[in-house]
Structure 1
């Protein structure tokens, strides 16, 4: 191979490697009974936006069942999951997992380095168990607001709020609100233009950024 051509090839390869290296890892936790749209909505947002490496993680690599009829094989388990930059905690039947110590420890550990910890629906209960909602404002699925408030007396759980952004910790209301929360994360990290492009690609014309709450530290 001529020297010049080889140099160009190596340069292109290096640029491609650098581009791949800059991708943010998005770990989406799934479990038996997870709500389909809770994880599929954010998955679609991040997978449709350049710069994100999206994968699923569960307690093990054994298949899980979503809403009784969809079988999903997780990409990773908690023990071999790549270090996430963004963690998504969908809801659904989260009750049995709130007391799972390895999961809660993984959430705590991830929060020490992740840019964003995003919950959808009752996934906020996992953040609460990990102590990540204490002293913060948050939201969740409408029928879970009161139980979460009782379980997290040091937090303020809001109703009629599409998402709440506390900085690193972002919570969303139920089911489809996970799409709004994920689009908000994209806007936060990559700008409103990119987030709008993603929403347009998804033909999701229901995204209204003003429906969320961005909390100033003095407001908590």
Structure 2
């Protein structure tokens, strides 16, 4: 079964936060189709508008659709970056899409957007080590954990910073597709990963 997967894109998104998981899901698709099956994921980059986003460091990335697209996604992934100026409409999009998603996940400071959207509850969350204190100050009701790569509660998952998004994405491949496909994806990427 091919799952629809949206990655929210915005100006000043952290490149590896968004493109690292994209690569994991893309390579997982190569593995499943090489095995004669369907792609595991239909990955869609969702922008605030139709313009390419300018990621941190200046990389320009085109989007496939916008937050005006009303389709349902099985997986919603919110990367981090500079999230202070992400429009309220994008936060509203996270809230509405997460209600119907099988899993809503964040990488790094993307957790701030999940919190602003009301997606998080009393269950533990994490983020980049540099942003732990700010997350606690901004959302004092959150149970913020340190020194973990990611936390998965089934319907909500959060990861620590930047490269930890690769670990979370591989974990999601293992959970949603199979442990074998996740292991082979990591091997294909030559990424040292311990499930």
Same fold (TM over 0.5): yes
The answer to whether 1:57 aligns with 2:46 is: yes
TM-score by length of 1: 0.81
CA shift, 1:69, in A, is 2.1
Partners of 2:118 and 2:140 in 1: CA distance: 11
SS in structure 1 opposite 2:100? Answer: coil
1:125-147, CA deviations, whole angstroms, 9 ceiling, x for partnerless residues?
Answer: 00110112221100001111111
TM-score by length of 2: 0.91
Partners of 2:4 and 2:121 in 1: CA distance: 26
Partners of 2:58 and 2:127 in 1: CA distance: 25
Q: Is the 8 A contact 1:163 1:172 kept in 2?
A: yes
Aligned alpha-carbon RMSD (Å): 1.2
Partners of 1:135 and 1:157 in 2: CA distance: 10
Partners of 2:21 and 2:98 in 1: CA distance: 19
Q: Unaligned regions of 5+ residues in structure 1, if any?
A: 1-21, 210-220
The answer to whether 1:167 aligns with 2:154 is: yes
The answer to whether 1:152 aligns with 2:135 is: no
Partners of 1:208 and 1:173 in 2: CA distance: 16
Structure 1 residues 81, 28: closer, same or farther in 2, change over 3 A?
farther
CA shift, 1:191, in A, is 2.0
Question: Whose RCO is larger (CA < 8 A, sep 6+)?
Answer: 2
Name which one, 1 or 2, has greater alpha-carbon Rg. Answer: 1
Q: Is the 8 A contact 1:133 1:152 kept in 2?
A: no
| Displacement over 6 Å in runs of 4+ | none
Larger relative helix fraction = 1
CA shift, 1:103, in A, is 1.2
CA shift, 1:188, in A, is 0.9
Partners of 1:57 and 1:105 in 2: CA distance: 13
- Residue in structure 2 matched with residue 29 of structure 1 by the alignment: 8
- Residue in structure 2 matched with residue 94 of structure 1 by the alignment: 83
The answer to whether 1:41 aligns with 2:17 is: no
The answer to whether 1:138 aligns with 2:125 is: yes
1:44-95, CA deviations, whole angstroms, 9 ceiling, x for partnerless residues?
Answer: 1111113101110011011111123211121101012632111111111111
Q: Which of residues 109, 126, 140 in structure 2 aligns to 1:122?
A: 109
